[in-house]
């Protein structure tokens, strides 16, 4: 499952530089699939919507840091554990109970985001 940042977030920013997929953004910041990935052209999001990878998307949260679920791989392919959760001083980076994803799905996403 993807990781989410709960409303307990204190906006310290410790998690953002740790994400190998550039999936973490400060509240209110627009994001794009291309940022921190090797993607080009278009990309189909998990909800079926196809977007230009350079196109800015609306923030997931305006109040605190957020994780773009379509870019989160729980650090599969990079680290043994999610790095955002490992560095969070208030333990607000937690598995999203609404997005149960296997290691295989997360690994496939990692390969799609970082073509070699």
**What is the model's pLDDT at position 71?**
96
Q: What is residue 103's three-state secondary structure?
A: helix
Contacting residues for 56 by C-beta, under 8 A, at least 6 apart? 30, 31, 32
Would residue 39 be called left, alpha or beta, if left means φ above 0 and alpha means ψ between -120 and 50 degrees?
beta
Query: What pLDDT is recorded for position 8?
Result: 97
Instruction: State the DSSP string of 24-83.
Output: EE-TT--B-TTTTS---SEEE-TTS-EEETTS-B--S-SSS-EE-TTT--TTTTT-SS-H
Q: Please, what are the averages of pLDDT over each run of 10 residues along the chain (116 residues)?
A: 93 97 97 96 94 97 96 95 97 94 94 86
What are the phi and psi torsion angles at 56 (to 5°)?
-75, 135
Q: What is the pTM of this model?
A: 0.94
Q: What is the pLDDT of residue 116?
A: 62
Q: Give the single-character DSSP code of 14.
A: S
């Amino acid at each position: 499952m993807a990781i989410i940042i709960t409303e307990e977030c204190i906006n310290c920013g410790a998690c953002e530089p740790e994400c190998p997929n550039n999936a973490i953004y400060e509240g209110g910041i627009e994001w794009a699939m291309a940022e921190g990935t090797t993607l080009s052209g278009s990309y189909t999001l998990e909800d079926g919507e196809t977007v230009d990878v350079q196109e800015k998307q609306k923030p997931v949260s305006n109040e605190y840091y957020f994780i773009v679920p379509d870019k989160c791989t729980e650090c599969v392919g990079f680290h043994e554990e999610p790095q955002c959760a490992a560095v969070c001083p208030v333990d607000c980076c937690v598995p999203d109970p609404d997005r149960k994803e296997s290691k295989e799905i997360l690994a496939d996403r990692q390969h799609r985001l970082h073509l070699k």
